[in-house]
Structure 1
Amino acid sequence: MSLRVLIADDEPVSLERLRLSLAAFSDIEIVGSATNGEEAMSLAECTPADLLLLDIQMPGRTGLEIARELQGPNAPEVIFVTAFADFATEAFEVDAADYLLKPVKQDRLEEAIQRARRRRSPTGGAGTVSATQTVRPPVETGYEHEFWIRKRDGFLRVPVDQILRIEAARDYALLHTDTNSHILRITMAELERRLNPENLLRVHRSAFVRPDTVARIERNDSGVTRLHSHDGAMIEVGPSYAKRVASALGVPLESAKT
């Protein structure tokens, strides 16, 4: 079943790049495009769409304002595509499926779209645990078992066992679960102290990965190591973390080469 997508960006070059990136997906139909917030809102109200890819800072209305006005049980999923990390908190307060920073990498776009699909599926939803995960009972190890995420109307508990991947976003961390992303004001160094590496392994200065979600390890001729997860994400391993990651996954570095 095709995914109907509406895209909006006030920069023509960015809009065209997004259009070309989406052309790689055979089951995506672009049902409309807009170059300002008012046009995007009008299209969203009159054009059936499953997913909106919105820039945030646009003339007329911002992407955040559009997402707030469209919220409801039948609202389309929203992925923000922006050059600024500063709006991540507000983006996840309106329950965005993902938050992509320009220039958008194709693998991150694919991951975000897959997350949006899962959220729209009958079996999707917050709190879903991936089939690749094992929920473990809390053990007194000194490590975190959960994080409380501030939301507009209170706080949301996110168990560590539901987090698939963490990426840095300036002074914040994006906690990615199977169907949602959450933002937490914390440094990666602090996360490394508070997380059990058996559950979430630091693989880069700006990334953690749940080891049991890794489906494939790639190491090219230049020595760059990448992890491919079951949900389609691709995470680069920092050079100083490569041996540690290979050891944790039980894979000799030389056998990870493709």
Structure 2
Amino acid sequence: MDEIAVIIVDDEKEAREGVALLLEKDKEINVKALCKNGLEAIKAVQEHQPELMFLDIQMPSINGFEVLSSLSEANLPEVIFITAFDQYSLKAFENHAVDYLLKPFTDDRFFKALEFAKKRIYANRKNKENSNLTGLLGDIKEKATNNSPQQIVPEGGSNNKIINNRLVIKADGKIYFVDLSQIIWVQAYDYYVKIHVKERFYLVRESMKKMEQFLPSEQFIRVHKSSIINLHHVVELEPYFNNEFVATMSNGGKIKTSRNYRDNLSGIL
């Protein structure tokens, strides 16, 4: 039986290492990565394609549920949530969690959850073998009747485009056409940007410089090295220290401007 690739995600070092230590007792488990935040988790899933993820819920910037929403269905592993807060249990199972471990948990409770996850993984492998065979036969038939190449929006920053006042984003295994009017603000996040719309965000591998270049300047202005705001969603500007401001956005978010980008604000001040 092939080993099960696992990643562990928790912003507490002791918690990550504690789970890893427990997993050492199971020879069928291969821990591929220990991640201290949501962005590391997303990268680890893309790199290692794990079949199981132990995932903390409350983490800074990107929480556990946001990690899952940023992954395509094809990349989704089985998930065991680990948290110190029991109010998330219903939402965890709405996100198709295998189990929900409430800290502190016993070793017996941990291995019970692990055993159930392994059974689901082995069942998924068997189902995938059958579906792969069916899919292969379907591909052969399709190629015999259709030789034209498929047209898609490739992943990658420079290929995100604006069409008919909509930003084209490939995420979650789908292509989204996001009206520019829906974009509240854009946030720099390591080698990615988070494009915030109402009640969610899209995590895209892109630079702030490129975003600033292709978003229309009459609507979007850069107010900080890490922030581009949509003027249509600015509710108020509150004076801050050193000629800076705090912008309140339509979703309630607070974004601090920078003196270095004050000239960009001159048109609305």
TM-score, normalising length from structure 1? 0.45
Higher helix share: 2
Structure with higher RCO (Cα < 8 A, 6+ apart): 1
